[in-house]
Structure 1
Amino acid sequence: MYGGFHGVHEVGTAAKPGYVDGAIIPVLTARKDDYSALLKRQAAIFTELGATRFIDAWGDNVPDGKQTDFKKAVNAKPDETVVFSFIEWPSKTVRGAAWPKIFQDPRMQEDNAPGDDTRRIFGGFLPLLDA
């Protein structure tokens, strides 16, 4: 799978991450501005809890694959765009301590969210390169 994504929101600066969370989610195309506003609120929470960088990118060149692709992975509908996100942390320990607090933070609760969290794919990753 591959695709091109246009950055919609970035907080923090690039540095050598100790741990990275990555995700893709389908978002209603017509609600891009609502999603951007949501990201700004959420980025504040993540950075308060130790994230060093928070990036979300809007699907710009996301081709159909032969067997699978980003859209199929999240069962995106014709009126949705796939968003690719990643969060950089200084360590897996900081990330592990932050996530329970993130889920409990009332600012993370969103009625009528523009993205469908039931179809979000996410995971945590250890960086491979020491550049």
Structure 2
Amino acid sequence: MSYYSGFLIAVPTANKKAYADHAAKSWPVFQRRGALRMIEAWGEDVPHGKVTDFYMATKAKDDETVVFSWIEWPDRATADAAFASMMEDPDMQNMGEMPFDGMRMMWGGFAPIVDMKA
């Protein structure tokens, strides 16, 4: 069964195109390491909560949009090996400055427990 790396990021709204371009440049690096799919989803209907929400989790500012993204891998071993070697890849090193505050990015690895399709 597949394995997923998930990410939650606050991106300056003005940097939407720069973020999309940055993400597109990263895809070949992930793909070479076995990634099956990458999704970058720009927040459109993200409610503000009273106790917790995506904005609080990322400490998003008024001029930022929350981005939820994930990478699908064939298995955890492939994902772990990819991330262990990725920073040595010249393509990754030459991607330039990230168009968001990486200190507020959160990520994790997830094993599916329910996977249904139409």
| TM beyond 0.5 | yes
Aligned runs of 1:7-26 on 2, under 5 Å?
17-26=1-10
Question: What whole-Å deviation, never above 9, does each CA across 1:25-74 have from its counterpart, x for those lacking one?
Answer: 01110011111110111011101110001000001011100101001001
- Between 1:99-108 and 1:115-124, the stretch displaced more is 99-108
Structure 2 counterparts to residues 49-60 of structure 1, below 5 A: 49-60=33-44
Unaligned runs of 5+ in 2: none
Q: Structure 2 matches for 1:25-64, cutoff 5 A? A: 25-64=9-48
| 2:111 is the counterpart of 1:126 | yes
Whole-angstrom CA distance in 1 between matches of 2:109 and 2:65? 23
What amino acid is aligned across from residue 106 of structure 1 in structure 2? P
The farther-off stretch of 102-111 and 36-45 is: 102-111
Q: Which structure carries more relative contact order (alpha carbon 8 Å, separation 6+)?
A: 2
Moved over 3 A (4+): 109-112
Using the size of structure 1 for normalisation, the TM-score is: 0.82
2: CA distance, partners of 1:130 / 1:116: 32
**Higher strand share goes to which structure?**
1
**% identical aligned pairs:** 44
Aligned residues: 115
- Give the one of 112, 116, 124 matched to 2:97: 112
2:90 and 2:56 mapped to 1: Cα distance?
31
CA distance in 1, matches of 2:98, 2:78: 27
Q: Which runs of 5+ in 1 are unaligned?
A: 1-16
